[in-house]
Amino acid sequence: MTETILVDRPAERVARITLNRPQALNALNRQAMNEITAAAAELDRDPDIGAIVLTGSAKAFAAGADIKEMAPQSFSEVYAADWFAGWETLGRVRTPLVAAVAGYALGGGCELAMMCDVLLAADTAKFGQPEITLGVIPGMGGSQRLTRAIGKAKAMDLVLTGRMIGAEEAERAGLVSRIVPADALPEEAVATAAKIAAMSKPAAMLAKEAVNRAFETSLSEGLLFERRLFHSTFATADQKEGMTAFVEKRPPEFRHG
Ligand code: HXC
């Protein structure tokens, strides 16, 4: 039984994790981290799930790591417990993750959204890395994933000033995949996840792995990695089905193998 999240299956082959600490604007305490990562890891192992939506409320995706929980901690405590290392579990999820962000995505909230693969933003979304205003710095990937996503100039602006940006600026900067009207966000997130989940699951997982490799390696190694993964898709029944269906002018029926 989880206390900080709700998990449901809103469409075929789609799971949704909804952050549910409204009293704290979905601030991410340790319990939330443990529950989100455990739920995502379990769904990742489920062959009947092809995409996972991660979302919050209309007011807040997540207003950051839980400041009240962090405030009294000492260096030796956060170092010994390796605070936030647990989030790496989410980075290892191979099923595509769709973040649906409305309202605040600040600090750890912005970092959590950036751990996802497709980032849909409501027109009400506000992103920022305000850690500097608390006397600390990002600790869940904000200095790394944000810089890779939007470049040094813009990342420095956000990380050093702590200012918030709206959905439009975030989209212009390359932080978000798409902006949708706030009232359409839940539906659009599920529709996007359902679209991904209907594709061949091995192909979707390989595609995610290939894109992510671009952030880890040189171009020549990345191109080789991509090509080898591409070759491997020819070992799947879904490759035969996808290409045969095209030739026969009918929609494919992927079996996810
Ligand atoms: C704990 C939080 C919280 C947070 C909000 N709340 N954000 N509690 N941790 N990150 C709580 C408030 O204390 C308040 O509880 C309730 O949620 C509602 O928030 P309000 O501030 O009253 O709402 P509002 O006036 O609408 O302002 C919204 C807000 C503001 C602008 C988002 O809450 C805010 O600035 N929050 C902090 C944002 C932030 O700095 N995030 C980064 C965290 S550091 P009560 O009990 O008073 O009603 C981080 C670090 C990562 O993420 C790694 C580095 C170490």
pLDDT in tens, 20-55: 999 999 999 999 999 999 999 999 999 999 999 999
Q: Report yes or no: 43 and 95 within 8 Å, Cβ to Cβ.
A: yes
The whole-angstrom separation of Cα 15 and Cα 7 is: 7
The whole-angstrom separation of Cα 89 and Cα 87 is: 5
CA-nearest residue, atom 14 of ligand 1? 24
pLDDT of 172 above 90:
yes
Rounded to an integer, the average pLDDT of 57-73 is: 98
- For residue 164, the ligand 1 atom closest to its alpha carbon is 31
Beta strands in the chain (DSSP E): 5-11, 14-19, 51-55, 60-62, 97-101, 104-106, 118-122, 126-128, 165-166, 178-180
CA-nearest residue, atom 11 of ligand 1? 24
- For residue 133, the ligand 1 atom closest to its alpha carbon is 40
Backbone angles phi, psi at 231, to 5 degrees: -55, -40
For the record, the structure tokens of 65 come out as 């790591």
Rounded to an integer, the average pLDDT of 84-96 is: 97
Task: List 19's β-bridge partners, or say none.
Answer: 5
The whole-angstrom separation of Cα 214 and Cα 226 is: 9
Is 105 a pocket residue for ligand 1 (Cβ < 6 Å)?
Answer: no
171 is known as an active-site residue: no
Other Cβ atoms less than 10 A from the Cβ of 107: the count is: 28
Rounded to an integer, the average pLDDT of 212-220 is: 97
| 155 pLDDT tier (thresholds 50, 70, 90) | very high
Is 136 a pocket residue for ligand 1 (Cβ < 6 Å)?
Answer: yes
Share of the chain above pLDDT 90, in %: 100
Q: How far is the CA of 72 from the centre of ligand 1 (A)?
A: 16
3 is known as an active-site residue: no
Is 130 a pocket residue for ligand 1 (Cβ < 6 Å)?
Answer: yes
The whole-angstrom separation of Cα 255 and Cα 257 is: 6
Q: From 208, 212, 197, select the one nearest 256 (Cα to Cα).
A: 197
Longest dimension (CA), the chain: 65
- For residue 131, the ligand 1 atom closest to its alpha carbon is 44
Question: What does the mean pLDDT of the chain come to?
Answer: 98
pTM of the shown model: 0.97
Is 63 a pocket residue for ligand 1 (Cβ < 6 Å)?
Answer: yes
Looking at residue 1, its pLDDT comes to 86
Q: Report yes or no: 208 and 50 within 8 Å, Cβ to Cβ.
A: no
Is 78 a pocket residue for ligand 1 (Cβ < 6 Å)?
Answer: no
- Site to probe by mutation for ligand 1, drawn from 4, 33, 67 as the one with most ligand atoms within 8 Å of Cβ, is 67
Rounded to an integer, the average pLDDT of 1-16 is: 97
Query: Percentages helix, strand, coil for the chain, rounded to the nearest 5?
Result: 50, 15, 35
Looking at residue 162, its pLDDT comes to 98
Looking at residue 211, its pLDDT comes to 98
69 is known as an active-site residue: no
For the record, the structure tokens of 17 come out as 């994790």
- Residue 238 falls in which region: left (phi positive, over 0), alpha (psi -120 to 50) or beta: alpha
